[in-house]
Structure 1
Amino acid sequence: MKLVWSPETASKAYIDTVKTCELFQESGVAELVSAMAAGWNAQLIVETWSQGGLIATSVGLAIASRNSCGRHVCLVPDEQSRSEYVEAMGEAGVSTEVIVGKAEDVMGGLSGVDFLVVDCRRRNFQRVFRLAKLSHRGAVLVCKNANSTSNTSFKWRSVLDHGSRLVRTVFLPVGKGLDIAHVATSGGSSGSTQGQSRWIRHVDRESGEEYVIRK
């Protein structure tokens, strides 16, 4: 099997996230990643989160997992972060699986990741990508807050193992920047062939700017 794009599932997750995230101000990031994760029918969605971080992206990923009938896991560094995260998610009316520990250590125990979101402002964020055990179907990797100065030398090829192939990358000026990579594993496929490209239309609710993303 391989990652196959479903525009119907993506649209439903996008709309559900818009409705749920009306109280948040994360400049459309939540809606976009939700649509992407659901559209790719992600079965294991993983993200990293630290105390004080914005919660809207997590809400969007939780909604995506519900639409794709998948599993959403959030990695937090300590119990204090876990408590804050669970409370915030509860206030938003959603819940997800939370694992406490250093993301670099926890990633080794999660196999078949097909959608991974990491905040590039965190220390060792590149190591989290390197240690991820990606799904044999391929995966979508998202580097959030990519406008961070610490991200200036980041290259996707530097975090992929020899069993993975970089299919395409795109940088989107949404929120504080999203650097996205679509990866195929050995023997896998990009999930779209010539003449079968898909498009995502996204409108930033704050600026009114419209982005059309080709997948």
Structure 2
Amino acid sequence: MLSRNIIKNLAVAICGTSLFTLVAASKAQATTITFDDGTTNISVGNFYSDQGVTFYNASFSSNFELPGSSGLLGFNATNGVYQPTSLTPIIGFFSQAQNFVSIRGIDVGANGIRLDALDADGNLLTFDEFFGTGLGVGIFHDLSVTGDKIRSFRLYQPQNLIGDGVVFDNLTFTAQPTAVLEPTAVPEPATVLGLLMASAFGVTSHKKEDKHKEKPTSIV
């Protein structure tokens, strides 16, 4: 018969192997919002909260079908229409940590555009900015930031040199990967039985060899 210790040790080894292979990293999921499902001059607010982001000081607006537009609508600042500043920025809050954020600026002129990425405490993690020329006619640019645990972002024009406005469109963000448990194959009963039998045979053979060994003769 198989000893209880053999069965116990094999069971622990098999279960342990399975458990260690359960831990894996979830794939990052990217979300893109085009803002074409909104209504002009209405606050964006929590319109996209079910997709993981809410807005402050942002309203749906026409993008005037300018170069870089993906549809008929984008968004701009509710306060300071088309010209958000560092004092009146557009702010987006994420429901969970992100590691990538990008946004398109349309009609970007000399006042430029800037994207700040912030952590949960409001600290600046990183930023990206771009400056066009003149009133920015026909100029568009995608800003993007990558960082660890991005929880919000700010959008604004870093300069206020001329009466140059901007429209934003096409927000994309990618959630921070998290550890998840994924099911793995469990050894078939026949496989487990085979391991037990092989172990038992090895132990039995070892005992027989020990039994048949000649005892050393005493020297008188």
TM-score of the superposition, structure 1-length normalised?
Answer: 0.30
Higher helix share: 1
